[in-house]
Amino acid sequence: MASTPPISAADTSQKQQHTITIDLTPYVPAYPVVNHEAAPQLPPDVDPASPQSIFDCFFSDEILETIAKHTNSYAEAHRKASEHARAWKPVNTTEIRVFVGVLIFM
């Protein structure tokens, strides 16, 4: 196995120059590029000016009901397993909607 020679002080004082070549030819995609309007692509029944309407696109009532149901079941399971459980009031979809909205707003 060949070993590399030690670097002397004279070797470290010399600066090495590196040449970088950059190809500046324009990129041409392999597929045709279609110019689209710069407008949101929302369903026709969604008002783009309404935050509530846009929120509802991502969080349907069924999703919020599922989150509330699992939140309540998780809380009950942990309350039964703990001696020092705090009082728990089951949450509903309105409270979950507000909570998620506050998280998004932050």
pLDDT digits (tens, 9 = 90+) for 75-86: 998 888 777 778
User: Phi/psi at 91 (nearest 5 deg)?
Assistant: -90, 160
Residue 54 Ramachandran class (φ > 0 left, ψ -120 to 50 alpha, else beta): alpha
Placement of tokens 């397993």 in the chain:
81
Alpha-carbon torsion angle 52, 57, 60, 63, nearest 10: -120
- Once rounded to an integer, what is the mean pLDDT over residues 60-87? 90
Q: 1 pLDDT band (50/70/90 cuts)?
A: low
